[in-house]
Chains A and B, each alone.
Chain A
Amino acid sequence: MKILVCISKTPDTTAKIAFTDNNTKFDVNGVQWIINPYDEWYSLVRAIELKEADASTVIHLVTAGAADAEPIIRKALALGGDEAIRVNADSHDSYYIASQIAEVAKQGGYDLIFTGKETIDYNGSSIGGMVAELLDLPYISLATKFELAGNKATVTREIEGGEEVNEVELPAVVSCQKGMAEARIPNMRGIMAARTKPLKVMEPVSVDALTSVAGFGLPPAKAGVKLVDAENVDELVRLLHEEAKAI
């Protein structure tokens, strides 16, 4: 079993969101970078668990990013995984990034490709589906459970108001979210081992981006909270009904 886990780099969840260059660039000043939580907690850890259950499993990590993505991919290697590939490409266009990942996937011949549910900065929720289409593979999105029996995967995915159980023969692409696995912390041995694991750098394939970011903005600030006395709950209900028209 050969698994490719897609790893992206995102600002820490508490990072201050601000923009520079006339609101065209994210202000990276003082920002701490982390592995996108969905990639780390759910897809990478589930892949590691699959390897723990079957030692013949090989895990490759891929990230499309500039050299500053290397600490992130090393951190991912410290959690687990056998080697990493960085495609030297940085873009906000999902199609461009997906094309890079699909190229890596073609060369590696993987049975399974895991992505996170979405990146917490760009919120595309798109890369998994695009990679699947580029490779003409089935795609199961927003998976909350993943079990493997030989070449057949049983995947539970979220649907509105419940869940659906799918069966699919590999190869396939699966996007992962909460439920798949429990978060782990890298240990010292993993951190040491990660230093010597191979990290290959590849140049991007040439494809056209389909979209571009024209600018960013911040939502208007809230006007401020209206406090109602705890002894006067009726007043809150009146406000919600008459003023906010929310009930």
Chain B
Amino acid sequence: MSVLIFIDTAEGHVKKSSLEAMTYGAKVAEQLGTTAEAVVLGAVNDDLGALGKYGVKKIHHVAADALNHFDAQVFTKAIAEVANATGAKVIIFSNNISGKAIAPRLSVRLKAGLVSGAVALPDTSNGFVVKKNVFSGKAFANVAVNTDVKIIALNPNAYQTIAGEGSAEVVSASTTATAGKVKVTAVNKASGEVPLTEAEIVVSAGRGMKGPENWGMVEELAKTLHAATACSRPVADAHWRPHNEHVGQTGFAIAPNLYIAIGISGAIQHLAGVNRSKVIVVINKDPEAPFFKAADYGIVGDAFDVVPKLTAAIKKLKG
């Protein structure tokens, strides 16, 4: 009996969302009076033992060649083997891109009930109930998991990472999984930019920017804040910005610490993707824009005037 956390990596580095999953998993283990273990697949460049500071006691590293690129089918098999060997009762994923591909498969394989998009620790006072987002963040559901083994996929940015003391014991584990049917033929990454779904701060702009030629000031503000950039749907549809910046009901759902919305009206479909942000700042020239109702801070004003001033003021603060 233990809690097993899946550690997700990219190019051999542990993703930030997995640190959250480990912190969360360690807390679940504490609730259940057991220990937190973790599993990581493929080649890793980071110091795994150091991840003990997030509360995991033991890390099972499966370093087979077949696991050096992502294939949900193969990964599921390898994780299932570790889960069975360790007698894991609760398995934790980040509900990130990899988690969304593997956790449902593992749920079937282990006949273990899955709660995806969890936002809080399980309530174990009466059964095993996990709170998750539904209706694109407009509501939540409390989901009871009725199976012996349980799987939770934790929403990114829903649980704060806490680094303590300690190191984890790293053991190598084997797998019967062999190369799968999915071949990776290319990886295209926008280097140097902050990935939208992992970003702490997101600067987003909408049709109020008038045209793609005006995005320089948005990017400058984002750069100053070390933020990712996002946009509303019409902006992506008009190809002013790439579609992977589109947030909302039909784009990405994000939950950064700070979301700055510039020239976005705040339609309900837009809010559905950003309403879990901790702090929302709205800059809009229309005092009646619906976004102000969902905002924590706002400036009624012309973006073309306010945004450069904001960038300058932040630069001043940062010295």
Q: Which residues of A contact B (CB under 8 A)?
A: 11, 13-14, 17, 19, 37-38, 41, 93-95, 98, 120-130, 132-134, 136-142, 144, 154, 158-169, 172, 178-179, 209-219, 222-223, 225-230, 233-234, 236-237, 239-241, 244, 246-247
User: Inside 8 A of B100's CB, which chain A residues have their CB?
Assistant: 125-126, 129, 141-142
B297: which of A93, A133, A211, A239 is its contact (CB, 8 Å)? A239
Structural contact, A158 and B244, CB atoms closer than 8 A: yes
Complexed CA–CA distance, A130 and B305 (Å):
50
B187: which of A142, A164, A213 is its contact (CB, 8 Å)? A164
Complexed CA–CA distance, A139 and B101 (Å):
7
Q: Which 8 A-B pairs have the closest CB atoms?
A: A230-B301, A129-B104, A161-B195, A210-B113, A162-B189, A133-B108, A126-B104, A133-B105
User: Inside 8 A of A217's CB, which chain B residues have their CB?
Assistant: 139-142
Structural contact, B181 and A138, CB atoms closer than 8 A: yes
Nearest chain B residue, comparing its CB with the CB of A172: B181
Given the contacts A161-B190, A210-B111, A218-B139, A225 and B296 also touching, CB distance less than 8 Å: yes
How far is the CB of A67 from the nearest CB of chain B, in Å?
23
Interface of A is mostly: mixed
Given the contacts A160-B195, A169-B181, A129 and B310 also touching, CB distance less than 8 Å: no
Structural contact, A237 and B104, CB atoms closer than 8 A: no
From B51-59, B144-152, B205-213, the one touching the partner chain is B144-152
A213: which of B143, B185, B201, B313 is its contact (CB, 8 Å)? B143
How far is the CB of B180 from the nearest CB of chain A, in Å?
6
Structural contact, A210 and B107, CB atoms closer than 8 A: yes
Interface of B is mostly: mixed
Structural contact, B116 and A125, CB atoms closer than 8 A: yes
Complexed CA–CA distance, A218 and B141 (Å):
9
Nearest chain B residue, comparing its CB with the CB of A241: B317
User: Inside 8 A of B181's CB, which chain A residues have their CB?
Assistant: 138, 168-169, 172
A237: which of B105, B300, B313 is its contact (CB, 8 Å)? B313
User: Inside 8 A of A159's CB, which chain B residues have their CB?
Assistant: 10, 97, 187, 189
Structural contact, B268 and A161, CB atoms closer than 8 A: no
A139: which of B73, B249, B250, B296 is its contact (CB, 8 Å)? B73
From B22-30, B39-47, B82-90, B278-286, the one touching the partner chain is B278-286
Structural contact, A211 and B298, CB atoms closer than 8 A: no
Complexed CA–CA distance, A179 and B221 (Å):
27
- Given contacts A130-B105, A162-B188, A169-B181, 5 further A-B pairs with CB under 8 A are A95-B107, A124-B117, A139-B101, A165-B186, A247-B258
User: Inside 8 A of A124's CB, which chain B residues have their CB?
Assistant: 104, 116-117
Structural contact, B297 and A240, CB atoms closer than 8 A: yes
User: Inside 8 A of B145's CB, which chain A residues have their CB?
Assistant: 210-211
A-B contact pairs, 30 of them (CB 8 A): A95-B114, A120-B250, A123-B116, A123-B132, A125-B104, A129-B103, A130-B104, A141-B72, A159-B187, A159-B189, A162-B195, A163-B244, A164-B70, A165-B188, A168-B182, A172-B181, A178-B236, A178-B243, A179-B244, A210-B145, A211-B144, A211-B146, A214-B129, A217-B139, A227-B298, A228-B297, A236-B310, A244-B258, A244-B279, A244-B297
B188: which of A163, A178, A210 is its contact (CB, 8 Å)? A163
A211: which of B115, B251, B295 is its contact (CB, 8 Å)? B115
Structural contact, B141 and A215, CB atoms closer than 8 A: yes
How far is the CB of B90 from the nearest CB of chain A, in Å?
14
Structural contact, B97 and A120, CB atoms closer than 8 A: no
Q: Which of B10, B134, B181, B269 has the most CB of A within 10 A?
A: B134
A129: which of B72, B278, B282 is its contact (CB, 8 Å)? B72
Structural contact, A129 and B102, CB atoms closer than 8 A: yes
Complexed CA–CA distance, A190 and B168 (Å):
61
How far is the CB of A76 from the nearest CB of chain B, in Å?
17
User: Inside 8 A of B134's CB, which chain A residues have their CB?
Assistant: 121-123, 216
A94: which of B101, B102, B104, B296 is its contact (CB, 8 Å)? B104
A95: which of B71, B108, B187, B258 is its contact (CB, 8 Å)? B108
